[in-house]
Amino acid sequence: MSAIDTLVANTIRPDVAAMHGYHVADASGFIKLDAMENPYHLPEHLLQELGARLAVATLNRYPVASYATTRQKVRDTLGVPAGYDVMLGNGSDELIAILCMACAQQERRAVVLSPTPSFVMYARSAQYAGMDYVGVPVKADLTLDLPAMLAAIEQHKPALVFLSYPNNPTGNLFAESDIVAIIKALDGFGLAVVDEAYEPFAQQTFMDRLPQFDNLVVMRTVSKLGLAGIRLGYMSAAPKLLAQFDKVRPPYNINVLTQTAAEFALDHVEVLNQQATALRAARADLMAALAKFPGVEVFPSAANFILIRVPNADDANVKLLSHKVLIKNVSKMHPVLTNCLRITVSTPAENATFLDAFAASLAA
């Protein structure tokens, strides 16, 4: 064993050393349909105006730690109930980590629970915070297994239950009544975190139900709305809960450029909403086109991506890559996803290019 190997063995947690890093594929030269991004840019005149605002941003000073103006714009623009505030994060990932750190009891091993398959960072953030993670498999049709969820809640008494709404990577919305049942089952000892990253495409939300449930946290991101590059997530909860989470938040976690870009974009949110409308229409067209291929199963989607099952996912993925089309092969994530691919909905031109490459991949 080399000196550096000895150093790693003596200093790095064994569970971390045994992990694989979060892999992000190199998309250079590819049509990028793997990361649920909005393919549209802001109009040229808005890009010019944004550039002018960024040019005068105060880069030599730390950000205002309370980011009060940005929070106000989020509250006013994105449907946060009256009397409720938001916490901002460096993407949803940081908010998930903050929730886990705040709820990781030192005197006992706290539990994070979620349906599986779902967003990988729920499990990873639990592990990083020193919590146990319990995944409850969805049913074969990808719907929530409510009896299994309620049994797991009764057994493990989780501090946090994450519910992706709609779910990633499956794309479907879990039944609203099931989520309410889970929130109620957690009352008094656990928090239900409804992750609405794809809300612009689902147009279903629990945000307006925050006043009904003290143990409900609603989390969103502006990434899918068209601002993935600025890394901004936000969450809302009962004021007393949010005050506790804020103690864990790093004091300058949102940088000046992100604040400036976010405030500008929210001043023009109607443009982003129009893009979301176009992507919802494109989603319907793409799902209809995919359903015409023999042997291809198309699952319902309320997100800006579509999950399909093909005869051989690995083979189809390799052939799509040969056509310079990058999608997400999720077939190894969970048995329920065997031979499944996840495709981001894009512009009509990119969707057409994908369909041509997909047809070639099935025919070859």
Q: Are the beta carbons of 140 and 282 closer than 8 angstroms?
A: no
pLDDT above 80 (res 27): no
Taking the CA atoms of residue 124, residue 126, residue 132 and residue 133 in that order, the dihedral angle to the nearest 10 degrees is -60
The position carrying tokens 């880069």 is 59
pLDDT above 90 (res 64): no
What does the DSSP assignment read for 143-192? ---HHHHHHHHHHH--SEEEEESS-TTT-PPPPHHHHHHHHHHTTTT-EE
Beta bridge partners of 326: 32
Cα separation, 98 vs 34, in Å, equals 26
Instruction: Tell me the pLDDT tens digit for each residue of 133-176.
Output: 999 999 999 999 999 999 999 999 999 999 999 999 999 999 99
- Average pLDDT, whole number, for the chain? 95
For the stretch 226-264, what's the b/e string if a residue is b when 16 or more beta carbons lie within 10 angstroms of its beta carbon?
bbbebbbbbbbbbeebbeebeeebeeebbbbebbbbbbb
Instruction: Tell me the pLDDT tens digit for each residue of 256-285.
Output: 999 999 999 999 999 999 999 999 999 999
Q: Are the beta carbons of 168 and 301 closer than 8 angstroms?
A: no
Q: What is the topology classification, in CATH, of domain 3-43+270-363?
A: Aspartate Aminotransferase, domain 1 (3.90.1150)
End-to-end CA distance of the chain: 48
Q: How confident is the model at residue 364 (pLDDT cuts 50, 70, 90)?
A: low
What are the backbone angles phi and psi of residue 45, rounded to the nearest 5°?
-65, -30
Please calculate the CA angle 161-186-224 and round it to the nearest 5 degrees. 35
Domain covering 60-267 assigned CATH 1.25.40.10 in the classification: no
pLDDT above 70 (res 209): yes
For the chain, the maximum distance between any two Cα atoms, rounded to a whole number of angstroms, is 60
pTM of the model: 0.95
Q: Where are the domains of the chain?
A: 3-43+270-363, 60-267
The H or E element spanning position 119 is none
Instruction: Tell me the pLDDT tens digit for each residue of 70-123.
Output: 999 999 999 999 999 999 999 999 999 999 999 999 788 999 999 999 999 999
For the stretch 303-336, what's the b/e string if a residue is b when 16 or more beta carbons lie within 10 angstroms of its beta carbon?
bbbbbbbbeebeebbebbbebebbbbbbbebbee
